[in-house]
């Protein structure tokens, strides 16, 4: 039976990801089976959680997942773990609309306690009313304790501990600053270089040496798994589709549950548009998002792969492309310096990283009578698509129509939106 808790923060940039990685690795090093989760749509943090916990990490998202699906995903991955660690998103009550989809909302839905990570580098007793507000705002959110981050002196910590005592929230310790475990940011979430494993281990040692992690585990709550409610798909008859999933340095932004869902349609094979020169025979090809802008010369230079993907589209092979995958299927990608690199050319548009501007948010997509939720996050923009109509209506979480297009050419579907189809029936496959 797993014990679970959620690591959150009053605001972003408090260090909750570094703490999550360090705690996950430390428990794993002690022989615990650690199951990591990430609140929200961030597909990058789950990559890092997977490495830290040595076990595939999973997204939990109340905007894209119905409540029953959210609970099922959490329980199915937690059932054989010793400890389940959920990392929150942004500030504790920050949701898509008010607190909808926030860390607090997910903690309530799963009935697990919250451990707050507070950046207290420029904070002393004033943290008391802040903690009081977080504790009182929604009494159904159970704050099990507080960890103060970036605190370098015991005297500073003493003031913070007094603040916790004043509002009757357990103080679980403090973590001094440490440049050796600082993780650089890139785009959404964290992108870590080749020293990633070393950083994770250093984070585990640093966190372990300053926090009573056994006491933290005592704050966790046992996960009561209703095995009857967990869907058993072991006897589900698979379809006969052969599915190619792009997976390499460029194409890596996938939701684990989406891949599990595809497994019910057939047999998955992975390939690399960056490295491979032969495209295996397939019924379905899935090109997820990633960082094509970092590998433009290599992608453009692999002309054999570009040609075979064009041919596959003309043969009517179903291709699903999201964000970076969509950029790859256009005529060109323009880098930050204005240099154009030829791409697959299934669609006549081009995408550009020049004058880049962030676009992000949840998206509700209505396509051919089906509603699918997803998330948009990119810095590039589409150019020369004026003659292409969208086959879907797209709305934000606040029900404002969004101009992002869903493109279609024969059986090729492409969009900036990372769709979450895992909660839907297989019939949705006919629409994406």
Enzyme catalytic residues: 323
What pairs with residue 359 in β-bridges? 378
Query: Phi-psi region for residue 170, left (φ > 0), alpha (ψ -120 to 50) or beta?
Result: beta
- Residue 23 · residue 35 · CB < 8 Å: no
Report the relative pairing of strands 359-367 and 393-395 from DSSP bridges: antiparallel
Compute the distance between CA of residue 421 and CA of residue 419 in angstroms, rounded to an integer: 6
Which two structure tokens, joined as six digits, stand for 282? 């397939």
Of 334, 323, 388, 390, nearest in space to 359 by CA: 323
Phi/psi for 222 (5° steps) reads -65, 135
CB neighbourhood size of 95 (10 A): 22
Angle between helices 67-78 and 103-110 (to 10 degrees): 70
- Residue 35 · residue 53 · CB < 8 Å: yes
- Residue 90 · residue 12 · CB < 8 Å: yes
The pairs formed by 353-356 with CB atoms below 8 angstroms and a separation of 24 or more are: 353/293, 353/379, 353/380, 355/381, 356/380, 356/381
Compute the distance between CA of residue 399 and CA of residue 362 in angstroms, rounded to an integer: 10
Compute the distance between CA of residue 22 and CA of residue 229 in angstroms, rounded to an integer: 32
Compute the distance between CA of residue 326 and CA of residue 416 in angstroms, rounded to an integer: 7
Residues near 34 by beta carbon (within 8 Å), at least 6 away in sequence: 24, 27, 28, 53, 54, 55, 81, 82, 83, 84, 85
Compute the distance between CA of residue 427 and CA of residue 404 in angstroms, rounded to an integer: 24
Which two structure tokens, joined as six digits, stand for 279? 């495209």
């Amino acid at each position: 039976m797993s014990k679970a808790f959620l690591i959150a923060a009053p605001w972003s940039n408090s260090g909750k990801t570094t703490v999550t990685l360090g705690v996950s690795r430390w428990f794993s090093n002690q022989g615990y089976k650690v199951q990591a989760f990430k609140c929200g749509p961030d597909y990058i943090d789950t990559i890092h959680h997977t490495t830290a916990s040595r076990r595939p990490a999973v997204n939990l998202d109340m905007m894209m997942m119905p409540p029953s699906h959210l609970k099922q995903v959490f329980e199915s991955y937690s059932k054989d773990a010793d400890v389940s660690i959920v990392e929150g998103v942004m500030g504790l009550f920050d949701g898509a609309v008010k607190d909808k989809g926030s860390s607090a909302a997910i903690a309530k839905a799963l009935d697990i306690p919250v451990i707050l990570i507070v950046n207290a580098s420029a904070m002393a007793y004033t943290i008391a009313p802040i903690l009081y507000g977080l504790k009182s705002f929604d009494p159904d959110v159970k704050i099990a304790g507080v960890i103060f981050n970036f605190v370098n002196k015991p005297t500073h910590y003493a003031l913070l501990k007094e603040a916790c005592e004043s509002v009757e929230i357990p103080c679980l310790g403090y973590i001094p600053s440490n440049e050796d475990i600082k993780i650089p940011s890139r785009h959404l979430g964290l992108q870590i270089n080749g020293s990633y494993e070393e950083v994770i281990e250093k984070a585990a040692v640093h966190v372990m040496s300053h926090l009573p992690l056994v006491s933290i585990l005592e704050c966790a709550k046992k996960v009561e798994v209703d095995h009857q409610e967990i869907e058993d798909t072991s006897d589900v008859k698979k379809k006969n589709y052969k599915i190619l999933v792009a997976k390499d340095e460029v194409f890596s932004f996938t939701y684990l549950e989406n891949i599990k869902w595809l497994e019910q349609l057939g047999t998955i094979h992975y390939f690399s548009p960056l490295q491979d020169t032969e495209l295996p025979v397939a019924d379905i090809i899935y090109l997820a998002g990633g960082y094509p802008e970092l590998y433009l010369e290599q992608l453009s230079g692999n002309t054999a792969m570009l040609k075979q993907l064009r041919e596959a589209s003309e043969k009517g092979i179903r291709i699903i492309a999201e964000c970076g995958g969509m950029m790859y299927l256009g005529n060109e990608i323009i880098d930050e310096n204005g240099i154009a690199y030829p791409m697959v050319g299934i669609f006549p548009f081009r995408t550009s990283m020049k004058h880049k501007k962030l676009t992000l948010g949840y998206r509700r997509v209505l396509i051919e009578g089906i509603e699918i939720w997803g998330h948009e996050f990119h810095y590039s923009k589409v150019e020369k698509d004026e003659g292409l109509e969208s086959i879907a209506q797209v709305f934000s979480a606040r029900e404002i129509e969004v101009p992002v297009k869903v493109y279609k050419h024969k059986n090729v579907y492409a969009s900036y939106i990372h769709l979450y189809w895992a909660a839907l029936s297989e019939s949705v496959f006919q629409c994406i």
